[in-house]
Structure formats: structure tokens, C-alpha cells
A and B are shown apart, each in its own frame.
Chain A
Amino acid sequence: MAIQDCGVEGGPPIISLKGLRHSFDNGNSFALKNVDLAIEPGAFVALVGGSGSGKTTLLKCINRLIDPLMGSVEIEGQSARDLPGRELRRKIGYAFQGVGLFPHMTVAENIGITPSLLGWSRPEIASRVEELLTLVELPPDYAGRSPDQLSGGQRQRVGVARALAARPHIMLMDEPFGALDPVTRDTLGVAYRQLHDQIGLTTVMVTHDILEAVLLADRIIVVHRGEVIADGAPNALLTTPQRNDVQALMDMPRRQAERVHDLLHGEPAGQG
């Protein structure tokens, strides 16, 4: 199926994946089958799909947490293999569902970890930590706290701050708000979308929640059995899906939206 590139006119892509294949069992089965993707600077992309669809594998190929068996990954016009994986990862923000705050470090030490790996000076790191706490809307005195003194939402905010610490241009997020309650989840999602626009980030977010993808992203890529089966703006996928399974996937948010719309306009129940 044809790949729809949304940002062709916006100049060269910031992330470019070509002919990506990956297998976890020496080629008996493929988690990724020949994926091509170009992501333009400033995009907010949601990778959606069921569990085992390959969306997380695809995400991890971008910062070389996984090295794909075949194909090329280019970041800002440079092959990802030109840099050692750890140096590449210091330039790309990464946040995931488990957050993975280091329990033996304070909030400030957690946030400052990538800058310290990059050799920033102590005052530089301290002022950056302060800046980031403000950015993710945490009080400055949280710097000295230990991660186990924080709520789930606060931990996730620290996780985002840590990912942003070294001023990356690209953020990779793997179900970042998946473990939170719906209210916190929505608050954080909206807050992160604002951050994304404010800083001018390029974000690739994995989610299995199609509604979250519709509400946050500019572009939705549907992955199924290691292949991209749909790629387009939320509006296009909602209104003119090209495949039955994609239409079925998009039905859920549309039904919910119509039902909420009806309720808001005083229509009786039972029509949705």
C-alpha cells in the first residue's frame, strides 16, 4: 500500500526509515516487515496498533535500543549507525510507561543524568533542572525528593523532564501515560502537547489508545503485523479510511465523539 507522506513540502525529514526489517528469532518470523517512513520536523506522530503489532520495535529502532536486522535509519540527515548507540540516545529524548526513575537518585539527579553523561558542569545542570521542573509544572523543592515520594503522575512528569534535559530535537515516547488514571492521563497528554509546540519538538508516541492518538497527534500511523497499514492525519483516517480493519479501528473514537456530541445537544439516549 502506498505511504502517505504528510510533510513532504516541509523540507527534508528529521527521521527517515527505509526498508526496515527486524526479527527476534533469527528470521523465522519478522516483527517488522519492510517499513519505510519519513517524519518531518515538528510533527507529532502517533504509532498505533495492537500488542505485538511491532509499533514498539519500530520506535526502538529510531534510537537504536534495537538495531534492525536490515534497512537504514537516518536522524537529521545522518545515518544512525554513524554514532555509538549511547551517544545517539543522549541526543534523543526517551520516555516509557514504566518511567524507570532511578530510586537511588533524587529527582534532580534523575533529571540531570543525561547532561551529566554529556559532561555539563554542575551549575549548568542545576539551572537546567530548575527550568525543567517549571516546564513540567512541578514545584522547585521537588528537586531533592526521592522518586518513591512522588505520585504516579508526578513520576511521569519527572520522566518527561529527564527525557528533555539535554535539549533533544526528537522525543520518543512508549505509552508514556498508559499506567495513569484517565484524568491525570488527559491532563498530562494536553500539557505535553503544549510543551511539544512550545519547544518545537518532533514527537513519535506509541499508544494502543486510538482516542489518545486522535486527540494529540497530527499524524497517525497504524501498524499491523510488522507493516504500516494506514498513515495519515486523524481527520483523513476518520473520514476516509482505505481498509476495513482501519475503518473498524477508527469507528470507536467516532462513535464516542458522536455520542458525546448528541448528549451535549440534548438528544435522547440510545441513538449512538
Chain B
Amino acid sequence: MDTPLAGAFAVLPSYLGHHILLSAAALALGTALSLPLALAASHSARLRWPVLTFVSLIQTVPSLALMALFYPVLLAISAASRSLTGHSFSALGFLPSLIALTLYSMLPIIRNTVTAIVNLDSDMIEAARGVGMGPTQRLLRVELPLAAPVIMAGVRTAAVWTIGTATLSTPVGQTSLGNYIFAGLQTENWVWVLFGCITAAALALLVDQLLGLIEIGTARRSLWRVAAGMGILALGVAAAGAVIFNPAQKPAYVVGAKDFTEQYLLAGVIRQRLEAGGHATSLRGGLGSAVVFRALAQGDIDVYVDYSGTIWTNVMGRRDRLPREAMLREISDWLARERGVRMVGALGFENVYALAMKRERAQTLGVTSISDLAKQAAHLRIGGDYEFFARPEWASLRQEYGLQFQEQREFQSTFMYRAVANGDVDVISAFSSDGRIKGEDLLLLSDPKGAIPPYDAIVMVSAKRKTDKALLAALKPLIGAIPVTLMQKANYLVERPDAPMSVDVAAQWLDKQLPAPK
């Protein structure tokens, strides 16, 4: 049962359940907000333009960005609420996804409702007034019933959009069918990518058909159609709720992971150790690098692995350079003091941003260090992952070495390695622990000027878990136990193109190489 497909089916109830609940909540909220707004807009020409423009404008914001934008906003509101009332809420996962999807769902509903009511036959309005209806009676007895099929068609469009877009909620920490796609993309598990696409499409299609049944039912005034459509939809949502809110499955420990293989492997090892001790866990994978630390500080996740240089520059905002050990000590003190987060320790390897080239290409050009590279950079092309060119390391590299490339391109990391292997780019921003460095026979260029700070992998736990014995007992044996060669090997098991291993199996393999828990 170790095939990717079996693995995909094993997590289907959870992914699908979360996906259904999120989509249903967004659609219900979107409809509830859209209808009054649309009714107001259809009766007031002055309101119509701003309302329609606003919802159209939302549609132009890329959905992923919209969800990401709500995270800092919610975080600020949550912090304000904590200081005012003592209560805070999770700014990660459900809420930002819900708000973004709700806003997305509004355009088709509002547009259809306004169109339907504004274009109602003028004889209907005259007759309604003539028989003595007031504005509210006209709305309830004539306008809404006549517009209902067109409004339902709008709800139907909104439902398909919402279900499709909900797959993009994974990076803000909301479990969804998108988890298959994001995890699959990172670990080159194409079966998972396809599985995620197919299940999301199938769900959208099914819901579309059921809403279609309700739409026909309202148009033909066929009660059984409306009842059947609504009944099946309600059953689906109830089933999803039963799976997700089953108290027996409530996870005790939430393990976070960023969106690359090594993170999934380390999260896997941590979960296996906790589960071996009889504790329930859940994974929040595919988190954006900027989101994941805030999620830990906020207590949305309990534990994850990050890298000292990332915390140093991105979180602490430091630009100075300290020796490795001193830097780790300072980070540990700062985290405990400023954020209440506990750094349990360093795992023993570094995953540093490093510039890498195909070995033979480097030899042809006579390049072994970044200083050598800088002399020829003007006619070379560089590829980076989505965040590299926006990071302080890149600024620092350019400043120290005066790097100026002919062309600069951004890739999802899997495709970045493909690009350097195929010769589409000459240099990439690799990670020193990446298995593909070995696999693609890449040469890591040395950094004689020390432009890039150390990137020791460190384990951190949230404030509320900082004295949790079970968690600390599970993590302690990992400290200092993972040399870079072991991490590279584990990463390569998953990323080798010829015979990739599933993340779960590779994590089990890695777990066996490490000291057993006491």
C-alpha cells in the first residue's frame, strides 16, 4: 500500500472534507452578502455602478495574492483582539481563505441578480403596482420569484469558481484538495498533482449539476427538484463536517512545513516520532516562507523546522554577521524574549542558498567561486525560486560581488532544477542540502566573501508547547543528528527522476537512520 495512489486515497476524507466545508461556507456567506447588496443595487442606479465595479475589481486580484493579503490583516486584528479582550483567533488557514473565497463568489451572484431584476418585463412592475403591491411585496412576490432562475445560475457559477479556487488555499495553511497539488508539485509526485486536479474538478462538476437541478426546479416550480438538490448538498456538507469535526480525530500536535521536499520529510519524521508515542498529529504543509514563522508565533502550528539565516535576516531584520554558534545563541535568546518561541536546537546540517551550475559548464567556463562567476555573469542567465530575488541574500550577493546577469528568471523549484539541467539557465539558486545537487551533478560555487549568512536547520516550538514534555522528548534525539550528506540523500530519494519514493516512505527511511527516542 505504498503506491502514491494509495497514499492519496488515505488522506482523501480529510482533504475533501476540508475542501467541502471551506467552499460551502464561502458560498453560503457570499450568497448571504451578495443578495441584499444586489437587490439594493438593482433598485438604485446610483449604487449599481460602485457595487458592480467593486466586485469586478476583486476578481482581477490573483486569488492566491488575495488570500495571502488577508493573513497580515487578520493577524493584526487578532493581536488587537488579544490585547483588548484577551481572546485571539487563528489568522491562518480557514479565515483568510474564507474571506477571499467569499469575496470571489460575489461577482457572478451580484451581476446575475442585478441583471435579472433590472431587466424584468416592465409589464410585471406595472401590474404589481397596479394591483396594489408596495415595494417589499413587489420584491418578495414578483421580482425575486421571477429572477430566481437567473440568480441560481449565478450561484452555480460562483460555486464552480469557489471550489476551483479553494485549491489555492493550501499555501495560507488551509487543508484542501490543493494539498495534493502543492505537495505533488514539490515532490514531483505527478500522480498526486493529477489526483488533486481530478477530485477538485469532479467535486465542482457534481455541485454544478446539483445546483443545476435546483435552478431547473425554481424555473419550473418543481418542488421535488429543489428539495432533492438541496438535500444532497446538505448531506454532503454534513458528511464533511462529521469527518472533520470528529473529536476522535482531533489532532493534538500541528506540524508545519514550507513548500519543499526537505520540509515535508522533516515534518514527516517529527510526526512519526510523535505518533509512535501515541499522539495524534496533523500536517500544515505547503506554507509560504513568510507565513510559517508567524503561524508558529501565533500558535497556529506547534512545531516546524526553519533555517537560522532566514530567521536572522527576515524575522529579526539583522544585516550583521556573527560566527555560527554565536548567531544560533543570539537567535535562541531573541526568539524566547521577543516571541515566546522556543528553539529546541539545530539539526546538524545547513540548507544554505548557494549558487550552483552544471559541473561541466562550470569547468568549461573555469568557474569555481562566485567571484569567478561575477566576471562572466553579463552573458549568463540565472534562475531562482519564487522568493530568491526578493531576499536579502540576493541583494547581499549583488552588492559583494557586483553580479549582473544577462537574464533573470523565476521558477517553481522543481522546474528550476530542470532548467539548469536542460541548459535553459546557466546558474541557479540551489539549496545546499538539496538531493538534486547530487542527482543533476551540480557544482556549488564557493562564497569567499561570506555574502550569505549560515543557514543551520533549527527546530522551533510554539509558546504554548515550549514545556510540552512529549514534544520535546520526540524532538531532542534529532538535535545534531542529521549531517548534510544524510539530508541530501533523503531529499534525493524523493526527487530522483528515475525512481522517486513517496515522501512518507522516505521519511520512514530517514527516521530509521536517526537515534531512537529514549
Chain A residues close to B by CB (< 8 Å): 63, 65, 84-90, 94, 96, 98-104, 113-114, 117-118, 162-163
B126 contacts A90, C-beta separation under 8 Å: no
Which chain A residues border B128 with CB–CB below 8 Å? 100, 102
Q: A102-B124, A104-B221 are in contact. Are A63 and B130 (CB under 8 A)?
A: yes
Question: What are the interface flags for B150-193 relative to A under an 8 Å C-beta threshold, 1 for contact and 0 otherwise?
Answer: 00000000000000000000000000000000000000000000
Say whether B127 contacts A117, CB under 8 Å.
no
Pairwise interchain contact A114-B132, C-beta atoms closer than 8 A: yes
B127 CB contacts on chain A under 8 angstroms: 96, 98-102
Q: How many residues of B contact A (CB 8 A)?
A: 18
Q: Nearest 8 pairs between A and B by C-beta?
A: A100-B127, A90-B132, A98-B123, A94-B130, A100-B123, A89-B132, A86-B134, A104-B145
- Asked if A94 and B145 sit within 8 Å, CB to CB, the answer is no
Instruction: Closest A residue to B130 by CB, please name it.
Output: A94
Give B462 Cβ to nearest chain A Cβ, in Å.
Answer: 57
Contacts A96-B126, A117-B137 given; does A102 touch B132 at CB 8 Å: no
Contact of A89 among B124, B130, B142, B146 (CB under 8 A): B130
In this assembly, does B198 line the interface, its C-beta being within 8 Å of a C-beta of chain A?
no
B131 touches A114 (CB 8 A): yes
Chain B residues positioned under 8 Å from A114 (CB to CB): 131-132
Apart from A86-B129, A86-B137, 14 more pairs, CB < 8 Å: A63-B130, A65-B126, A65-B130, A86-B133, A89-B130, A89-B131, A94-B131, A96-B130, A98-B126, A98-B127, A100-B127, A102-B146, A117-B132, A118-B132
Give bound CA distance, A158 to B299, whole Å.
Answer: 68
> What is the distance, in angstroms, from A66's C-beta to the closest C-beta of chain B?
10
Q: What A residues does B126 contact at CB under 8 A?
A: 65, 96, 98, 100
Which residues of the other chain, A, contact B146 by a CB distance below 8 angstroms?
A: 102-104
Instruction: Give the distance in Å from the alpha carbon of A28 to the alpha carbon of B232 in the complex.
Output: 60
CB pair A90–B129 under 8 Å, yes or no, is no
Name the CB-closest residue of A to B127. A100
In the bound complex, CA of A102 to CA of B210 (Å): 27
Chain A positions within 8 Å of B123 at CB level = 96, 98-100
| B binding-site residues for A, Cβ under 8 Å | 121, 123-124, 126-134, 137, 141-142, 145-146, 221
User: Please, could you name 6 A-B residue pairs with CB atoms under 8 Å apart, sorted by A?
Assistant: A86-B132, A96-B126, A100-B121, A100-B126, A100-B130, A113-B141
Question: How far apart are the CA atoms of A102 and B130 in the complex, in Å?
Answer: 12
User: Which A residues touch B129, using CB under 8 A?
Assistant: 65, 85-86, 89
CA distance A54 to B123 in the complex (A): 19
A113 to B221, CA, bound (A): 18
Question: How far, in whole Å, are A90 and B128 apart by their CA atoms in the complex?
Answer: 11
Q: Are A102 and B133 in contact (CB under 8 A)?
A: no
Measured CB to CB, the nearest residue on chain A to B135 is A86
Q: How far is the CA of A261 from the CA of B127 in the complex (A)?
A: 41
Q: Which residues of B contact A85 (CB under 8 A)?
A: 129
Q: Contacts A98-B126, A100-B123, A104-B221 given: A90-B131 contact, CB under 8 Å?
A: yes
Docked CA distance A114–B143 (Å):
17
Q: Within the assembled complex, what's the spacing in Å between the Cα atoms of A117 and B146? A: 19
With a cutoff of 8 Å between Cβ atoms, the chain B residues found around residue A86 in the complex are 129, 132-134, 137
The answer on a CB contact under 8 Å between A87 and B132 is yes
Chain B's nearest CB lies how many Å from the CB of A96? 7
In the complex with contacts A65-B126, A100-B124, A162-B132 CB distance below 8 A: no
- Bound together, the chains give a CA A96 to CA B127 distance in angstroms of 8
Contact among B121, B131, B221 with A117 in the assembled complex (CB-CB below 8 Å): B131
Q: How far, in Å, is B471 (CB) from chain A's closest CB?
A: 62
Q: How far is the CB of A177 from chain B (nearest CB, A)?
A: 16
Instruction: Give the residue name and chain of the B residue nearest to A95 (CB).
Output: B130
Q: Nearest chain A CB to B138's CB is how many angstroms away?
A: 9
Distance between Cα atoms of A85 and B130 in the complex (Å): 10
Residues of A within 8 A of B131 (CB): 89-90, 94, 113-114, 117, 162
Return the contact of A102 from the options B134, B137, B142 (Cβ within 8 A).
Answer: B142
**CA distance in complex: A85, B138 (Å):** 14
A98 nearest in chain B by CB position: B123
CB-CB under 8 A from A162, the residues of chain B are 131
Min CB–CB distance B328 → chain A (angstroms): 72
CA distance A87 to B123 in the complex (A): 20
A113 to B127 alpha-carbon distance, docked (Å):
11
Distance in angstroms from B157 CB to nearest chain A CB is 23
Residues of B within 8 A of A104 (CB): 145-146, 221
Q: Smallest distance from the beta carbon of B423 to chain A beta carbons, Å?
A: 67
Whole-angstrom distance between the alpha carbons of A62 and B80 in the complex? 61
Residues from chain A with a CB closer than 8 A to the CB of B121 are: 100
- Closest Cβ–Cβ distance, residue A114 to chain B (whole Å): 5
Residues of A within 8 A of B137 (CB): 86, 117
Q: Which residue of B lies closest to A116 (CB)?
A: B141
CB-CB under 8 A from A117, the residues of chain B are 131-133, 137
Residue of A84, A96, A100, A114 with most partner-chain B CB within 10 A: A100
Q: Nearest Cβ in chain B — how far from A37, in angstroms? A: 21
- Give the distance to chain A from B262, nearest Cβ to Cβ, in Å: 61
The distance from the CB of B133 to the nearest CB of chain A, in whole angstroms, is: 6
Nearest B residue to A87, CB-CB: B132
Which residues of B are found within 8 Å of A102, using beta-carbon distances? 124, 127-128, 141-142, 146
Question: How far apart are A131's CB and chain B's nearest CB, in angstroms?
Answer: 18
User: In the complex, which residues of chain A have a beta carbon less than 8 angstroms from the beta carbon of B145?
Assistant: 104
Docked complex Cα distance between A163 and B127 (Å):
10
Shortest distance in angstroms between B395's beta carbon and chain A's nearest beta carbon? 65
| Chain B residue nearest to A103 in the complex (CB) | B146
Closest chain B residue, CB of each to CB of A101: B127
State how many angstroms separate the Cβ of B285 from the closest Cβ of chain A.
Answer: 50
Q: How far is the CA of A141 from the CA of B146 in the complex (A)?
A: 25
Give chain A nearest CB distance to B135 CB in angstroms: 9
Hey, which chain A residues are within 8 Å of B124, CB to CB? 100, 102
**Cα separation A110 to B136 with both chains bound (whole Å):** 18
* CA–CA, A206 and B118, complex, Å: 28
In chain A, what residue has the closest Cβ to B219?
A104
Residues in chain A near residue B132, CB distance under 8 A: 86-90, 114, 117-118
Name the residue on A nearest B129 (C-beta): A65
Q: How far in angstroms is the closest Cβ of chain B from A106?
A: 10
Complexed CA–CA distance, A166 and B126 (Å): 18
